[in-house]
Amino acid sequence: EAGVTQFPSHSVIEKGQTVTLRCDPISGHDNLYWYRRVMGKEIKFLLHFVKESKQDESGMPNNRFLAERTGGTYSTLKVQPAELEDSGVYFCASSQDHTDTQYFGPGTRLTVL
């Protein structure tokens, strides 16, 4: 069974540009989560989807970040416009039930210059 996949693995963009990250959860997992780790800090929760619905987006830093999960399958996280402080590693995770283990993808390393 394939694990959580994320694309791209790395992205380097200029400040002010737009970047879209993609996450494909494990097949059949209704719960999908986004987290990120900025340099030197702990991994922090961004938001949680159940199928296509946002259950909790309390961790989204500001309105430059937009997450979608149309159709309840893969999810995208768009940053527009990107700022220097958005640099970090963005992780996606999925679980079958919200109480279950969350399985993480390899992450997307975003560098904003």
When binding is defined by CB under 8 A, the residue of 35, 65, 69, 79 that contacts another protein is 35
- # residues near another protein by CB under 8 A: 25
In a 10 Å sphere around its CB, with 0-12 CB exposed, 13-18 middle and 19+ buried, how is residue 5 labelled? middle
- Residues 92, 26: contact at Cβ < 8 Å? no
Please select the residue that binds another protein; options are 17, 20, 55, 111, rule is CB under 8 A.
55
Q: Which stretch binds another protein (CB under 8 A): 19-27, 31-39, 61-69, 70-78?
A: 31-39
Asked if 103 touches another protein (CB under 8 A), the answer is yes
- Contact residues for another protein (CB under 8 A)? 4, 31, 33, 35, 41-45, 48, 55-56, 58-59, 91, 93, 98-99, 101-107
